[in-house]
Amino acid sequence: MYPGTWAEKTPDKPALIMAGSGRTLTYGELDERSIRLSRHLHDAGLRRGDVVALLSDNTPETYEVYWAALRSGLYITAVNHNLAPDEAAYIVEDCGAQALVVSAAKRELVTAMADRLAVEHRIAYGGEVPGFADYESVLAAASPQPLPEQPHGDDLLYSSGTTGRPKGIKLPLPGYAVDEPGYPYVAIFGGLYQFDESTVYLSPAPVYHAAPLRFGGVVHALGGTLVMMEKFDPEAALAAIERFQVTHTQMVPTMFVRMLKLPDEVRARYDLSSLRCVVHAAAPCPVEVKQRMIDWMGPIIFEYYASTEANGATMIDSNQWLTHPGSVGLPLLGIVHICGDDGTEVATGSVGTIYFERDDVPFSYHNDPVKTASTQHPAHPTWTTVGDLGYVDDEGYLYLTDRKAFMIISGGVNIYPQEIEDLFTLHPSVLDIAVIGVPDDEMGERVVGFVQVAPGIEAGPALAEQLTSYARDRLAHFKVPRELHFLDELPRTPTGKMVKGRLRDLYAAL
């Protein structure tokens, strides 16, 4: 199913509502406007397998572009609008976009990219952008009749770039039409979390990331209402849940932390009784944070572990997690293998690289066959990894320890920054923290922490000593940061992933 199904049944039902402004897009409007844009792109020469790039803040038009691509057999590449001009231009170039649609709210970034862009077909909405056609004029001039054939398209999204330059993840196009069943995100997550016509889904994250974009598409495929926040704010999210009677939402652990740090009286102010399902993913969730979320909202917290590459997935519900705290669950897609550096499988409970076994290699990195090959197990090419480390218990539950690229080796001992970061997550003086390893002549690497202090807290030597003492009482001393540096803000993506490469660059410049 897709918006056209619901445009016939419930044309006036809201497909999308902006949480802040209340601006609404009905199913009838979403269907017609995505048809008109698909017609324009087809008339401009785009055909199955071509790419439309989208650079936008959170607006209703993002899903008009999304569905125009998916009902035309096109790929859609949503570009992170927080990137520097060269970084954003690199993605538009690398994906091979034949068309670029932008929000005028990002005019400054788009203008700065202009000299790098070779895209012929350019469209802007929400205002004028030099060199771009007006979106509303484009739609008005296009036919409202669907294309004779509407092959199902897909997304071509880029990794967050937390450990290097973003990589485009390209999956084969589906072999069916947009109105036929089979799209995996609808089939898997729609059933898993019981999305249907009654669903009201709050999306608080930027739409250029995989989970927000895809889950919004699942909502539309199944006839629910997507409530999109312009930008995440912890109290505004609670207010939106009450106002729109939200049934489902998906957040990342940093959003949980921000909500838990609200004063008790603020959290108690809002009626959250409509919630049936709170999903979290994208980054590991500290055990204490998740326990407090379940204590607050009840056993409606669900977690999945997956990646933009979609090479595998696990899932866990609240009741399973309470008996396996810290786990990300049992396999949902693929078979889990934990392997050592030599590629051999390690014993139960031992940490190693997480591989998922599938019938074939489910993805490739666009324009990078070498990088694609590096994700494959040396002896089993259909086992792939995205570089995460973890272990399984004797019941088959998977636990994450960290990214392989983030692991610190100090004095020959493996140290996982995630464990140290988790310790401080709910500390009242800490708003955010990141831990990295830096070169050390004696130990090989030493542990260094970067801290963003909570409002009203004074950064300085006294706080550093307090935090160090706190860690020494709770961690092995070799894991305690040797240095703590205070920053006004840490480089975390809106989906909660820390960009540690920037911290290493910053440390090198100290």
Residue with tokens 């078979």: 335
- pTM summary value: 0.87
Q: What is the mean pLDDT of residues 347-367?
A: 91
Per-residue pLDDT at 368: 87
Amino acid identity, residue 259?
M
User: Which of these ranges, 242-246, 281-285, 380-384, 501-505, has the smallest mean pLDDT?
Assistant: 281-285
Residue 347 has pLDDT above 60, yes or no: yes
Amino acid identity, residue 171?
L
Q: What is the mean pLDDT of residues 312-340?
A: 96
Per-residue pLDDT at 154: 97
Of 228, 214, 190, the C-alpha closest to 282 is: 214
Residue 109 and residue 89: Cα distance in Å, rounded? Answer: 10
Amino acid identity, residue 342?
D
Q: Which CATH architecture has domain 407-509?
A: 2-Layer Sandwich (3.30)
Q: What is the mean pLDDT of residues 371-389?
A: 92
Pairing of strands 75-79, 277-280: unpaired
Residues of the chain with CATH 3.30.300.30: 407-509
Whether residue 336 contacts residue 314, with contact meaning beta carbons closer than 8 Å, is answered with yes
Of 362, 366, 371, the C-alpha closest to 309 is: 362
Strands (E), 254-380: 277-280, 301-305, 313-316, 327-333, 335-339, 352-357, 364-365
Residue 383, strand partner residues: 357
Whole-number Cα distances in Å, 13 to 68, 218, 223, 226, 434 = 19, 16, 9, 11, 44
* Alpha-carbon dihedral angle through residues 273, 274, 276, 280, given to the nearest 10 degrees: -90
Q: What is the mean pLDDT of residues 249-270?
A: 94
Residue 407 has pLDDT above 90, yes or no: no
Q: CB under 8 Å to 462, separation ≥6 — which residues? A: none
Interhelix angle 61-70/210-221, nearest 10 degrees = 70
Per-residue pLDDT at 404: 79
For 272, counting Cβ atoms within 10 Å of its Cβ (0-12 exposed, 13-18 middle, 19+ buried), the class is: middle
pLDDT tens by residue, 76-87: 999 999 888 998
Of the pLDDT bands very low, low, confident and very high (cuts 50, 70, 90), residue 50 is: very high
Residue 356 has pLDDT above 90, yes or no: yes
Residues of the chain with CATH 3.40.50.12780: 3-227, 228-404
Q: What is the mean pLDDT of residues 443-463?
A: 94
Per-residue pLDDT at 254: 87
Per-residue tokens: 288: 């204490």
Q: What ranges in 299-392 are assigned the alpha helix state H?
A: 318-323, 369-374
* Alpha-carbon dihedral angle through residues 140, 145, 147, 151, given to the nearest 10 degrees: 100
Higher-pLDDT residue of 477, 29:
29
Amino acid identity, residue 46?
L
pLDDT tens by residue, 411-423: 878 898 989 999 9
Residue with tokens 């996982």: 416
Whether residue 91 contacts residue 51, with contact meaning beta carbons closer than 8 Å, is answered with no
Residue 290 has pLDDT above 60, yes or no: yes
User: Which of these ranges, 46-55, 165-174, 321-330, 338-347, has the smallest mean pLDDT?
Assistant: 165-174
Residue 26 and residue 217: Cα distance in Å, rounded? Answer: 14
Residue 166 and residue 158: Cα distance in Å, rounded? Answer: 6
CATH code for the part of the protein at 228-404: 3.40.50.12780
Per-residue pLDDT at 282: 79
Of the pLDDT bands very low, low, confident and very high (cuts 50, 70, 90), residue 377 is: very high
Higher-pLDDT residue of 442, 107:
107
For the ranges 12-21, 358-367, 379-388, the one whose mean pLDDT is highest: 12-21
Q: What is the mean pLDDT of residues 464-474?
A: 95
CATH code for the part of the protein at 3-227: 3.40.50.12780
Whole-number Cα distances in Å, 180 to 16, 187, 504 = 22, 11, 48
Mean pLDDT for the chain? 93
Strands (E), 140-231: 154-158, 168-170, 200-203, 225-228
Whole-number Cα distances in Å, 496 to 161, 206, 252, 253 = 13, 11, 6, 7
Residue 186 in 3-state DSSP? helix
